Amino acid sequence: MKKIVPLIYFFLAAGSSLRAQYSPAKDSSLIITINQQVDNDVVQQNMPALNNVYAEDLVFTHGSGHIDGKQSWLSSVAKGNFLSRQHDSVTVEMHPGLAIVRGKLSVQKKSGKDSRYHLKYVRVYALRDKQWQMISHVTVWEIHEPG
């Protein structure tokens, strides 16, 4: 029994230090930064960065109901139609190895009808090989400005 008590204290102390190292607020801030950078990279057509941040199994569901995979979305981005993609009201729900992001996105395209629109979305990022990757984007609401 005397040998078990120190072991219990050891495991309790180890568990406390592990919890102290995990910082949801720090991780949430990182995810918010990554999330905006993704859309900055879309505007800048930074294909190498986007290729890294979008998971191979990405499912990108648009407000129209159209669904893109990674390659079809990257092909769309490569056309260079975006002037800006700015996030607002972003919240992050952290889970071990997973981040659920909700927010608003204002988009301005270069030309054509529907050149300005606003949407609400849910995105999911997974921690894979020590890197956060987007595995899902779902537009849950969308409105287009008259133009």
**3-state helix/strand/coil string of 121-135:** EEEEEEEECCEEEEE
Residue 12 lies in a domain: no
Contact call for residues 79 and 112 (beta carbons, < 8 A): no
CATH of the domain at 124: 3.10.450.50
Task: Give residue 26's pLDDT.
Answer: 87
Residue 128 lies in a domain: yes
Residue 17 lies in a domain: no
Residue 109 lies in a domain: yes
| CA angle at 39 for the pair 33 and 43, rounded to the nearest 5° | 135
Residue 119 lies in a domain: yes
Return the bridge partners of 121, or none.
Answer: 103, 139
* Residue 22, both tokens: 């995990």
Domain range spanning residue 73? 23-144
Task: Give residue 22's pLDDT.
Answer: 52
Task: Give residue 60's pLDDT.
Answer: 98
pLDDT tens digits, one per residue of 81-139: 999 999 999 999 999 999 999 999 999 999 766 699 999 999 999 999 999 999 999 99
CA–CA distance, 81 with 110 (Å, rounded to integer) = 5
Residue 136 lies in a domain: yes
Residue 15 lies in a domain: no
Beta strands in 1-147 (DSSP E): 54-61, 67-68, 82-95, 98-109, 116-128, 131-144
Task: Give residue 146's pLDDT.
Answer: 87
User: How much is the pTM?
Assistant: 0.83
Residue 111 lies in a domain: yes
Q: In total, how many domains does the chain have?
A: 1
Work out the average pLDDT over 22-32.
Answer: 85
